[in-house]
Structure 1
Amino acid sequence: MTTLARLKTSVADLGRFAGGSILGLALAAALVAAPARALAQAAPATAAAAPAAVLPATGSGPALWVVKDADSTLYLFGTVHVLRPTTAWGSAKVDAAFAASSDVYFEISNPDDQAAILPLIQQYGISPQTPLSSLLTPVEIADLDAAAKTMGASAAQLDPLRPWMAGLTLSIAPLIKAGYDPASGVETILKARALAGGKSVRGFETLDEQVRVLATLPEDAQLQFLRSTLESFDAATTELDGLVAAWAAGDVAGIQALGVDEMKATAPAIYDALLTRRNAGFADDIQGLLAGSGTAFIAVGAAHLAGPDSVQAMLETRGVDVEQQ
């Protein structure tokens, strides 16, 4: 089997850090959305999807913040990149903020661009000259094979993947089996609403930049990510269920405890790459928007808005007031 054929098979259905990935990296949803046929050739353009209805949340719903100056109002909203269609997160305050905004900013503006994803996976996600079988122990290869079989693949088919790509693939696979779907993710729904409402849609980062967040990690950090995913493979869905429940209830402390603190304590290199450095970049972008004027809605993964290194904490250390709604 060729390297590309293995790649197509292994990511067709595309850990411990699964929750942090889903709340911290829009790329995760982009890879989930990449069907095998899109890896063989660019998918044809299709009409924009109609905005999906969202069930109303119980209570006040997910947290929302606002940053203001004399001529700017910026709403800051944490998202989950993949959700079950039945997740109830609708919120009147979020709807009002979104309606008042003329511009919408996401981590990336084009997670559904399959033609852009394929060359990035080929460039950064596979390394047949250094297969996983040369990096993992026999016991770990057996664990990899067992995890891969749950998504209709095998360790041999994942062998050409780089550790970060294998870890991300396996962290997402059980979630898809449990009914999580990028089409129900917050960004997908908000983007459809924005386009239907004539709002501009922009991204703070590019797909290439997001891929390189994990692809440029040292090999030992990538292997730690993969090993942690294998160790907690069976618990991934339960962990994300807890994170989603905290997010939908506006429980920011719960998000921090479940999706941020453990990553910071046990995998500081991954935490720094996935959250700290990118949060600083998002804070820079927000300050740049404040220097202009107008009203904008900013939606980034909820992990970026929880904990001591959150975007809000960084803004406040720079003298920018952030108010929770």
Structure 2
Amino acid sequence: MTKRFKTGLAATAAALAFVASPALADHHGEAAATEAAVEAVNVDPAIWVVEDEDTTIYLFGTFHAMKAGVEWFNDEVKTSYDAADQVVVELVPPENPAEMQPLIMKYAIDMTGTPLSAELSEEGRAALHATLAQMGAPAQAFDMFKPGFANIALTAGLMPGMGFEEGLGVDKTIIAAANADGKPIHQLETMEEQMAVLTASIPEEEQLAMLEQTLAEIDEMDDTLEAMLAAWKTGDEAHFVELFSEMNDQSEAFYDAMLTNRNAKWAEWIDARMDEPGTVFVAVGAGHLMGNDSVQVMLGEKGIASRRMN
């Protein structure tokens, strides 16, 4: 398995599942859910805390799509959530997928008129058409898209067949809990900002190269996502550090757009929030809280210490 597959496909899928799924449902239908009895497994994903005399901020790394039977909302995670006055997430997705359409037109559609399949190699085009057929979509389904969005949409479309359900995603579960408990929710980004990261911050030739690699290694996607999930369940920082180090080696532009630049903005927000009293539960993709350019590292550079709770 090549390094670019690990970093380009799996990390992108985990980072931007919210963007792709509403658009994908509009274009080729939602995957049918499979009901099966699943034995619950208790896991301990990583959580950190930043605190001073009157402010406590918990930092929890999420997995945007989840398998049934994974029991994570307990122990330190649940205790920290219960203590919070406010919940902060990357993004609160729109309830109505139709709200995505103007953003898809603005950011995801290739206005040059060149079909995406015409930009792919012969091998890539064949793999794309075969994968779309497997998903029950016509061969031209992605021809209007920019390659970065197509990469995300393709990945999100395949994940349900591997048992990963967006509806069970950690972020959505936390948002639903906060709404039920009457906790105020703040989002660190808008949907438009996430769409811009995907399609405007990464050179199109790099987007196309990553899509080609995804298509070349599509049969190994399940193993890659399973390895990521296994690392998340135990808070295995080393796995994510390796993953994102490889991402930086393969495409600095992608790494900066997906991680470094966003982490820097979020660290600034946390720094400012430390000036206000209260307890805050911050839930963002696990990759943002691990590695050499994590939110905690950037907070440390500002003189703000963090510690892992579990």
Contact kept? 1:174, 1:237, Cα under 8 Å:
no
Find the residue that maps to 1:104 and give its secondary structure.
strand
Compute the displacement of 1:39 (Å). Answer: 10
Q: Give distance in 2, aligned partners of 1:248 and 1:120.
A: 33
TM-fit CA distance, 1:81: 0.4
Does the CA contact (< 8 Å) of 1:74 and 1:296 recur in 2? yes
For 1:310, which of 290, 294, 299 is the aligned residue?
Answer: 294
In structure 1, stretches of 5+ residues that fail to align are: 1-14, 41-53
CA contact (8 A) 2:55 2:274 kept: yes
Identity of aligned residues (%): 36
Q: Is the 8 A contact 2:23 2:104 kept in 1?
A: no
Is 1:19 matched up with 2:10? yes
Equivalent residue for 2:124? Answer: 140
Q: 1:43 corresponds to which residue?
A: none
Give the aligned partner of residue 36 of structure 2. none
Matched, 1:79 2:70: no
Which residue of the partner structure matches residue 71 of structure 2? Answer: 88
Q: Distance in 2 between matches of 1:244 and 1:186?
A: 12
Residue in structure 2 matched with residue 118 of structure 1 by the alignment: 101
2:232 corresponds in structure 1 to 247
Shift of residue 23, structure 1, vs aligned partner: 3.1
Q: How far does residue 138 in structure 1 lie from its aligned partner after superposition? A: 2.3
Compute the displacement of 1:36 (Å): 3.9
CA contact (8 A) 2:63 2:285 kept: yes
Distance, in Å, in 2 between the alignment partners of 1:140 and 1:34 is: 22
Q: In structure 2, what is the equivalent of residue 153 of structure 1?
A: 137
* Alpha-carbon distance in 1 for matches of 2:108, 2:223: 27
For 2:141, give the aligned amino acid.
Q
Deviation, 1:70, is 1.9
1:206 aligns with 2:197: no
How far residue 113 of structure 1 moved from its aligned partner, in angstroms, is: 4.3
Q: Is the 8 A contact 1:103 1:297 kept in 2?
A: yes
CA–CA distance in 2 between the matches of 1:250 and 1:135? Answer: 39
Write out the 4+ residue segments of structure 1 that deviate beyond 6 Å after TM superposition. none
TM-score, length basis structure 1:
0.84
**2:88, 2:280 within 8 Å by CA — same for their partners in 1?**
yes
Whole-Å separation in 2 of the counterparts to 1:162 and 1:64: 36
Q: Tell me, which stretches of 5 or more residues in structure 2 are unaligned? A: 30-38
CA distance in 1, matches of 2:128, 2:83: 48
Structure-2 change in CA distance of 1:37 and 1:19 (3 Å): closer
2:85 and 2:184 in contact (8 A); partners too: yes
In structure 2, what is the equivalent of residue 295 of structure 1?
279
Number of aligned pairs? 293
Q: How does 1:18-57 map to 2 (within 5 A)?
A: 18-25=9-16, 28-34=17-23, 36=25, 55=40, 57=42
- Residue identity in the other structure for 1:18: L
For the Cα contact (< 8 Å) 1:107–1:203, is it kept in 2? Answer: yes
